[in-house]
Amino acid sequence: MPKEIYAKAESFYVDFERKTGPDKISTHYCPGCGHGNLHKMIAETLDEFGVRDKTIFVWPVGCSVFGYYYFHTGNVQVAHGRAPAVATGIKRAHPDSIVLVYQGDGDLAGIGGNEILQAANRGENITVFFVNNAIYGMTGGQMAPTTLPGMKTTTTPLGRTRENEGLPIRVVELLSALEAPTYLERVSLTDAKQMNRARRAVRKAIQAQVEGKGFTLVEALAPCPTGWKIAPTDSRDWIHEQMEPLFPLGAKKDVLEHVESIPGEPRPFVADGMGEKLDILASSVTQARKGTLKEEDYANPRIKVAGFGGQGILLLGVAFSECGMQAGYEVSWLPSYGPEMRGGTANCHVRISDPKIGSPMVEESDVLIAMNRPSLEKFEPDVRPGGLLLLDSSLIDIEPQRDDVTILKIPATKIADDIGTTKCANMVMMGAYIERTGILDLESVIEALPSYIKRKKTIPMNQQAIAKGAEYVREHF
Amino acid sequence: MTEVRKPRAKPRGTVEIRVDECKGCGYCIVECPQKVLVLAKGFNRMGYHPSEYLGDGCTGCGICFYACPEPGAILVRKLEPVS
Ligand SMILES: Cc1ncc(C[n+]2csc(CCOP(=O)(O)OP(=O)(O)O)c2C)c(N)n1
Ligand code: SF4
Ligand code: SF4
Ligand code: SF4
């Protein structure tokens, strides 16, 4: 592949403006790090195929977490090990895009071991670049699943042993046992000959996706001079001598010539009859019609619901989004699972919206439903000026601080208790909120309850709770 | 009578190191088949000794370009061979 000019690929940004600090021209990688070489090979291929503008990278946690500093493409950075799952979603939603997954060995073979296995097994039409540097680089040189026997790392100070830590995982060999992957090759980022092979493998793997030929992965043995504590120029010999015998180079699977293009369109979702198949009552439920908004200001609310575990906080979020959906709104529901989930507080983010929803996160809220005191204290500052604050006055014994929001004190737990169970305090709040804003039709919401509450016995009480919450607002505000 | 063949003109090229993008890892120097790259005595902005072209002998093969991890530190051009 001789060229007239070898220069920075156009798929890279001219200046790395996203990079922090004064230097916007060089990467954040250590001198001699293999990530940069692989980046260049990918970038040149995107240039060659002219697919930069429809390429979406999914970046890992690890030293390449900042890949989006460099590539003038779509970029998503995801949780540790989860890139193949996120890439699956992106590719299915945008089958015409080129989805490139980039992962280190800790990310792919360690914490994300199952993700890659399942994505490969499904034969997702994505391309995975797997950087095997035998170590966790970013966190300072801990053992990775690919660490060599005898190799000293911060977590194997006496050297990795078969007895204690097991032998290294050979990822391409492992995946080649699966039926679906179409091309799996291991290359090494070392001398000129191997670099050329690596470039060809990168090109082939991306081309396979352009042609819709299923799951491909290129594993690159890459220097991490910092983690290995050797000079860059020694690190390439180290790969030849230490890594290549254990991780043999070459294609472990290549059936690209024999595979037909996989149709790009994911199987369409057919809602008809799904209710019966899943044995849910949805089909027998009357559609909740839109209510009549009491004020313009109540449109498209960003709602935060918070309280303690056991108050049905997450279920209240589900109820809002379910009814909103049945009423024809765009909705989102995002439960927040922190360490606090265990025993402490729970909260969820809900959006009900006419326009499409960009992000399900609710940071500033239009509405806060606070079911206990810590939730009020924690989230009250995030309500927008002019917003709505509903609090359970049977449990919250302090006054809210804000004087620029509308406050509705609802003795929800007390009302629920009178109905027969404190557990339906959440639905009292639902009724109160709907009555106040008119965002949904109250009667329809009451009728729709069986579509998200499965325990039939509790349905009448919950329905009563919604009605009582609404009644309280009508009578007191 | 054997025809005397003219020696084939050596391919010519030129290499440019963008000094402030170079981290002095030395890969290009080790890999260059013509051995026309060396580490400079001076420092660049980041405090590395950057790679430096001796000024002559580059064939434009591009090996140093792929040896280098930095996206833009090396620029190689092929020149018309001298006849
Ligand atoms: C859920 C989670 N667990 C652990 C970490 C800490 N962590 C950050 S990077 C990393 C390892 C990365 O190693 P690797 O995938 O080999 O990439 P490299 O840095 O070598 O390129 C770990 C364990 C994290 N960020 N998130
Ligand atoms: S620690 Fe290793 S993998 Fe991370 S940037 Fe440095 S050389 Fe590269
Ligand atoms: S292009 Fe080839 S000959 Fe010229 S400096 Fe680079 S490696 Fe050496
Ligand atoms: S390979 Fe690149 S970064 Fe390393 S010394 Fe050469 S020009 Fe500098």
Q: Which helix (DSSP H) or strand (DSSP E) does residue A386 occupy?
A: strand A383-392
> How would residue A279 be classed by pLDDT, with cut points 50, 70 and 90?
low
Q: Where are the alpha helices (DSSP H) in A180-253?
A: 192-210, 225-228, 232-238, 244-246
Verdict on whether the full-model pTM lies above 0.90: no
**B75 Cα–ligand 4 center, Å:** 11
The confidence score (pLDDT) of residue A338 equals 59
Distance of alpha carbon A121 from alpha carbon A107, whole angstroms: 18
What is the mean predicted confidence (pLDDT) over A451-464? 90
Distance of alpha carbon A278 from alpha carbon A406, whole angstroms: 41
Summarize pLDDT for A248-257 with one digit per residue, the tens: 999 999 999 9
The confidence score (pLDDT) of residue A284 equals 44
Strand B51-53 to B37-39 pairing? antiparallel
Shortest CB distance from B27 goes to which of A2, A7, A233? A233
Q: Return the domain boundaries, chain B.
A: 18-75
Q: Does A29 touch chain B (CB under 8 A)?
A: yes
| Three-point CA angle A55, A19, A382, nearest 5° | 90
User: CA end-to-end span of chain B, whole Å?
Assistant: 25
What is the chain B residue with the closest CA to A32?
B25
- Four-point Cα dihedral A247, A250, A253, A257, nearest 10: 170
Q: How far is CA A59 from CA A14, A48, A64, A104, A330, in A?
A: 20, 22, 7, 10, 29
Q: Hey, how many other C-beta atoms are within 10 angstroms of the C-beta on B76?
A: 23
CATH number of this structure's domain B18-75? 3.30.70.3270
Q: Is 50 exceeded by the pLDDT of residue B22? A: yes
What is the mean predicted confidence (pLDDT) over A54-75? 97
Choosing from A139, A146, A219 the residue with most ligand 1 atoms within 8 A of its CB, the one to mutate for a pocket test is A139
The confidence score (pLDDT) of residue B83 equals 55
Summarize pLDDT for A289-346 with one digit per residue, the tens: 778 899 999 999 999 999 987 889 999 999 999 999 999 999 999 998 655 445 567 8
Contacts of A32 in chain B (CB under 8 A): 23, 25-27, 69
Contacts of B79 in chain A (CB under 8 A): none
Summarize pLDDT for A371-404 with one digit per residue, the tens: 999 999 999 999 999 999 999 999 999 999 999 9
Check B69 against A27: CB less than 8 A apart.
yes
Mean pLDDT, chain B, whole residue set = 90
CATH topology of domain A35-258: Rossmann fold (3.40.50)
Q: Does A22 touch chain B (CB under 8 A)?
A: no
Site of tokens 């294609």 = A251
In B1-83, where do the E strands start and end?
12-17, 37-39, 51-53, 74-79
Check B31 against A191: CB less than 8 A apart.
yes
Check B48 against A9: CB less than 8 A apart.
no
Beta bridge partners of A352: A331
Choosing from B63, B74, B77 the residue with most ligand 3 atoms within 8 A of its CB, the one to mutate for a pocket test is B63
Percent of residues, chain A, with pLDDT higher than 70: 95
Contacts of A236 in chain B (CB under 8 A): 27, 30
What is the mean predicted confidence (pLDDT) over A441-468? 91
Q: Return the domain boundaries, chain A.
A: 35-258, 288-476
Q: By the 8 A CB rule, do A29 and A70 touch?
A: no
In words, the CATH class of domain A288-476 is alpha beta
One-letter amino acid of A58: V
Summarize pLDDT for A229-274 with one digit per residue, the tens: 999 999 999 999 999 999 999 999 999 999 887 755 556 677 778 7
**A140 Cα–ligand 2 center, Å:** 9
The confidence score (pLDDT) of residue A280 equals 62
Summarize pLDDT for B43-57 with one digit per residue, the tens: 998 899 999 999 999
One-letter amino acid of A124: E
From A5, A1, A8, A88, select the one nearest A40 (Cα to Cα).
Answer: A8
CA distance A145 to chain B (A): 25
Mean pLDDT, chain A, whole residue set = 93
